[in-house]
Chains A and B, each alone.
Chain A
Amino acid sequence: MDIFGIPVQVLFGQLLIGLINGSFYAVLSLGLAVIFGLLNIINFTHGAQYMMGAFVAWMMLNYLGVNYWFALVLAPLVVGAFGMLAERLMLARLYKLDHLYGLLLTFGLALIIQGLFRNYYGISGLPYTIPPALSGGQNLGFMFLPNYRAWVIVVSVVVCFGTWFMIEKTKLGAYLRAATENPELVGAFGINVPRMVTLTYGFGAALAGLAGVLAAPIYSVNPNMGADLIILVFAVVVIGGMGSIIGAILTGFGLGIIEGLTRVVYPEGSSVVIFVIMAIVLLVKPEGLFGRQA
């Protein structure tokens, strides 16, 4: 059976793969959206933080013998701590200035981090194997689904839902949202706003780190892995609406699927399809699909 001249099996397979890639986009753009929505920082270091997540997992395994499961928790913490340090030492000084300064600083920071990793570890990438418990796969009839990729979808959905729930439905989330609207007033209630900002940035960085650990067994651990992805993820965030949590999640998954389908219909166009969509969305709805009117 064919749909649009594509065998159904191939179509289903591509949809599933799109979903898997979409879960990376979702987790990464979620971190970006949290940081932008609550801190108003366009965090260009996000790709480098994603790459660091993968590298920290690799270093933990090779230098300390810490396996994947512990790295899944520890590596994001390390990356988050690094993020908080960077926020305290550098970003915190820029909040009163224009957005552009934050963008330039985070962009520069990303280049430095990538350069350092490139110098020490080269460009070819380092091997990181899939944990034995998740190796192998299921034959779904229309495709072979590696267990690890199924695991990536599950983790991503849980993380995305958890983050959304925390920010939109809990008291802590309410404080955070209030602090972005009126930091002085929230501070007057005895809440330490700067600390909250630092923790939020750390959380966003940790999300990138987590995506990095999830990616390490699939893609080789490579200093350029973040740089390759970051522009794409930014496009996802812009399409979803800057700062919109739900927008980041839904467009992340959605665009992954659209990209996957493009790979069947017109493979050469798969690297630009997201940007074409971005251009159209910006023309029709400049605030993004889920963005609030500025």
Chain B
Amino acid sequence: MVRTLALSTVASIALALPAQAFDIKIGVLNDRSGTYADLAGEGSVVAVRMAIEDFDAAGKGINVEVISADHQNKPDIASTIARQWYDQDGVDVIMDLPTSSTALAVAGITAEMGGIMLNSGAATSDLTGEACEETTVHWTYDTAALANGTAKAVTQSGGDTWFFLTADYAFGHALERDATQVIEANGGTVVGSVAHPFPGTDFSSFILQAQASGAKVIGLANAGSDTVNSIKQSSEFGVTQAGQSLASLLMFLTDVHSLGAQTAQGLVLTEAFYWDLNDETREWSARFEEKMGAKPTMVQAGNYAAALHYLKAVEALGSADDNIAVVEKMKEMPTSDPLFGEGYVRKDGRVIHDMYLFEVKTPEESTGEWDLYKTLATIPGEEAFRALEDGGCEFAMSE
């Protein structure tokens, strides 16, 4: 009797106390000086900090520290930093990781060292396929979703022969592979492809080869300034006047902004986020623009959403000690945030939410330097992303 009373007293005191304060360290690892610095870079760090503020982590007794580093798009540099962060600096979570090759390298290290990788920047669908890990959560987009958006739309509207200009690294090859599947499934054929060095500057030789192929569509399986230069130089070489069309499978808002509506008008592209979707995205993007001087890209938005969901999971668990448990919690709770709306984290780590098919506005339609897209279609998450069983993620299939 006395013992039960004592126990219940202790229990009630423990319940009455506020949740114990604890520390989390988030490392944002991305390109801060190279070709992807504008679409990720400092903007991703800013987005993560905004998530921490909006979540009111400090008020909830969760002390979050954010550090960042430049991986220069090189897997070896990314690996070294990731190891040091986990090993010596006590980092719990590594975020962003644009450039698929760096993301694949860090995914392995994260699993080995027991961290969490919240990926928003990388495109390769292998992260939740063959190279999946229980510690990986892949936000925002992937090559399969890009293919299901742009490649499908272009093929169905008559562009049934393709030639690819592919960035010669993990991302480009994954995108070409995923797009080829979608093109063939929709009755099209791929007549050829050329792998160009990454990053490149002069694409005229490759454009010439694409022109000689006679394909109706030149598919650009590259990103960032490579895409910008490919499109610019294609227009110089009269690709569209000669009757071929361009399909840029991955384009970010900053790329379109850099090209300007004059050159980019009419391009069809797939993105997970656009600042001008609704009131909530506009409000958030305005706050972001105040800090960064530019509208956010989907990668930066994805970092916000990922950090927010992670913090919610940690709060629900009341601890950030067991990273596997945190990821389990993230998969258990539905995702909900102002930027991507409702969604969920699938077993293989893939985050399922809506994607959008946009068309770049003409200069006449555009009312400002960032008013660049009109929405062609909303692609429901289930349709946009590859089905779980097609990815080949072993641990997700076996359960």
Q: Enumerate chain A interface residues (CB-CB to B < 8 A).
A: 7, 9-10, 13-14, 17-18, 20-21, 118, 122-127, 129-130, 137, 143-144, 146, 148-149, 218-220, 222, 224-225, 228-229, 260, 263-264, 267-268, 270-271
Contact = CB atoms under 8 A, between A and B. Distances in A.
Interface residues of B, number: 43
B201 A271 contact: no
Contacts of B35: 123, 224
Contacts of A9: 212
B38 interface: yes
B229 A137 contact: no
B260 interface: yes
Given A124-B254, A137-B238, A224-B34, A268 B225 contact: no
Nearest to A129: B262
Contact of A122 (B201, B233, B294): B294
Contacts of B236: 130, 137, 146, 148-149, 218
A219 B254 CA distance: 16
Nearest to B241: A144
B262 A219 contact: no
B195 A144 contact: no
Given A127-B258, A144-B211, 11 more contacts: A13-B208, A18-B205, A123-B33, A125-B225, A127-B262, A129-B263, A144-B238, A144-B242, A218-B202, A220-B229, A263-B209
Given A10-B209, A124-B38, A219 B229 contact: yes
Contact of B201 (A137, A148, A229): A229
Contacts of A124: 38-39, 224-225, 228, 254-255, 257-258
B258 A220 contact: yes
Contacts of B233: 218
A18 B225 CA distance: 21
Contacts of A130: 236
Given A17-B205, A146-B238, A126 B168 contact: no
Contacts of A118: 33, 37
Contacts of B9: none
B195 A7 contact: no
Contacts of B263: 127, 129
B213 to A, nearest CB: 10
Q: Which of B168, B206, B228, B232 has the most CB of A within 10 A?
A: B232
B212 to A, nearest CB: 5
Nearest to A18: B205
Contacts of B228: 124-125, 220
A134 to B, nearest CB: 10
B197 interface: yes
Given A137-B237, A267-B206, A218 B232 contact: yes
Contacts of A260: 205
24 contacts: A9-B212, A10-B212, A14-B208, A17-B208, A21-B204, A122-B38, A122-B294, A123-B34, A123-B35, A123-B41, A123-B225, A124-B254, A124-B258, A125-B225, A125-B228, A127-B258, A137-B238, A148-B236, A149-B236, A218-B202, A218-B236, A219-B232, A264-B209, A267-B197
A260 B195 CA distance: 14
A137 B241 CA distance: 11
A35 B238 CA distance: 39
B399 to A, nearest CB: 40
B196 interface: yes
Contacts of A125: 225, 228, 258
